[in-house]
Amino acid sequence: MMVERLQTFGDNQLCKQVLQALSEMGFEEPSPIQEEAIPLALEGLDIIGQAQTGTGKTAAFGIPIIEKANPKFQAVQALIVTPTRELAIQVAEEIAKIGKYRHVKLLPIYGGQPIDRQIRALRMGYQVVVGTPGRLLDHLNRGTLRLQRVKTVVLDEADEMLDMGFIDDIESLLKEVPAEGRQVMLFSATMPPGIRKLAQTYMTNPRSVSVSRDELTVPQIEQVFYETRESIKVDALCRIIDLEDIGQGIIFCRTKRGVDELVGALEARGYFAGALHGDLSQQQRDRVMKRFRDGKTELLIATDVAARGLDINNVTHVLNFDIPQDPVSYVHRIGRTGRVGRKGVAITLISPKEYRQLRLIENLIKTRIRRQELPSLADISERQAENLKNQLLKLIQSNRLGNYRAIVGELLEEYDSTDVAAAALKFAVEGVNAEERLEDKEQEGIHFQNTGAAEGMVRFFMNIGRVQQIRPQDIIRWIADESGIPGNIIGMINIYDKFTFVEVPTEYASRVLSCMHKAMIKGRRVNIEPAKAR
């Protein structure tokens, strides 16, 4: 049905096979960048496109490439250069879908993959090659990649490639493509002098197409900022994470060191976080990304450079732990959420002296970013109570309460309905003998005065340790889940071979003791008791 509706793609007359592929991919009409770029590209003109990720620029150059390629001719006819391997794979996948019915063969080439496999693949004859500059150059020098028949070269995210020091490699590649009849398309979010120079040298009367500044930010993204002091920044972040309903979040730091330190601080507080920065090998990077995509890591902590070319559809939140130095980076960063028509949230932490930077960002996006007050501990407890309420609501609505109704019916003959419900809730949260356990402990003369803890804290002893492969984040997550106290207020944790010491604030000591004693962690029942003085 849709193929009939999609007789043309906007004003572009495309062949039947391409239209059928676009129809299956869910394309109904061109995005602004596609509307401008495709007709020019089909005419063979050079193009400079100013557009972010998420504006549909891959199809803007992918559709003309597939339309003009000759599937019967076994030679590389189009070369697409991208800054990162993730982007190469992503671009290759999308263009392969567009070329599905025209039988145009497409090969992604990047570092971190065995070169002999790529050499074998290149011998098979591909019409389109997508790759990263270093690996493409490697094949060029080995004579395994021949560019004599290339008619179209695309430089995708050119500013990123400039930042990553690839400009010389790109020039070496361009010099190998015959200048006569060559079409160069360059896409870049920003236009620094290095990119302008590249365009002047290798392009002929390029046409400019751009997504206007108004379309740079996605209207679906809710943007807020919190003011906080540097000294409490990590705690502020943890409170925000506890209060927000984060499915998957990317947290941006300014430096690689900042990323490592924040991951350490978050893991010590019981959050599952993964680091992404330039010092990681491709294998480590892939592992981190796989864990994040599979939902095993809820937070990805990244630098701007490391996050380039990432395309993950389910990111609910982007958090700027450090405000970006360059306002355009802000647009790049927050564009990682609110994908494919979903809603997204962008949160920025700033210190008082960073207000100027914030104003520059607001001027660029022509939007005021809303200020919010940092959540208090009371807000977080309230949020946890809200979660409990929602879980109960689900149970009531599921209407499978038969066995329990009879018990409640008997109790209601003697007791107040609110008391019965509250007791049931307490039983669910704290377990059966919470009161007795506490009384027993107190009768044994156990008190929280002298446990060798820091001021305002109580130190507990637990009979579980390294032998059971326990990590600080296991302890924190366990205590937070069982007792409902926020993970970020748990203090010092010392893990030994067969036991562990952990400190919690004095006002939560009774609750932790009553909820945790004889509770299960990693399949083992654990004793917890106030520690003896050091």
Domains of the chain: 2-211 (3.40.50.300), 221-375 (3.40.50.300), 376-423 (no CATH), 431-534 (3.30.70.330)
Structure letter (DSSP) for residue 12: B
Gap between the Cα atoms of 521 and 515, Å rounded: 13
User: For residue 18, what pLDDT is reported?
Assistant: 93
The number of helix segments (H) and strand segments (E) in the chain equals 21, 20
Distant-in-sequence contacts of 440-448, Cβ < 8 A, 24+ apart: 441/513, 441/529, 446/529, 446/530, 447/530, 448/506, 448/509, 448/510, 448/530
User: pLDDT at position 214, please?
Assistant: 45
pLDDT for residue 251: 96
pLDDT higher than threshold 70 for residue 37: yes
Q: What are 187-214's pLDDT values in tens digits?
A: 988 888 889 999 999 999 999 998 654 4
DSSP label of 489? G
Which residues lie closer than 8 Å to 33 by C-beta, 6 or more apart? 49, 51, 55, 56, 57, 60, 209, 210, 211
Do residues 322 and 350 make contact, with C-beta atoms less than 8 angstroms apart?
no
Question: Which amino acid is present at 182?
Answer: R
% of the chain exceeding 90 in pLDDT: 35
Distance CA 487, CA 505 (A): 11
Does residue 55 have a pLDDT over 50?
Answer: yes
78-81/152-155 β-pairing = parallel
Distance CA 170, CA 154 (A): 11
429: confidence class by pLDDT, cuts 50, 70, 90: low
**Do 528 and 461 touch, CB atoms closer than 8 A?**
yes
- What pLDDT is stored for residue 387 in this prediction? 65
The dihedrals phi and psi of 166, each to the nearest 5 degrees, come to: -95, 5
- Mean pLDDT to the nearest integer, 144-172: 92
For residue 1, name the pLDDT band (cuts at 50, 70, 90): very low
95 against 352, higher pLDDT: 95
- Nearest 5°: the CA angle 98, 104, 108 is 80
Name the E strands within 39-169.
47-50, 78-81, 106-109, 128-131, 152-155
Q: Which residues contact 149 (CB under 8 A, 6 or more apart)?
A: 73, 75, 76, 77
The closest of 162, 160, 119 to 138, measured between CA atoms, is 119
What does the pLDDT look like over 301-319, one tens digit per residue? Answer: 998 877 776 767 778 999 9
Contacts for 419 with CB less than 8 Å, ≥ 6 apart:
none
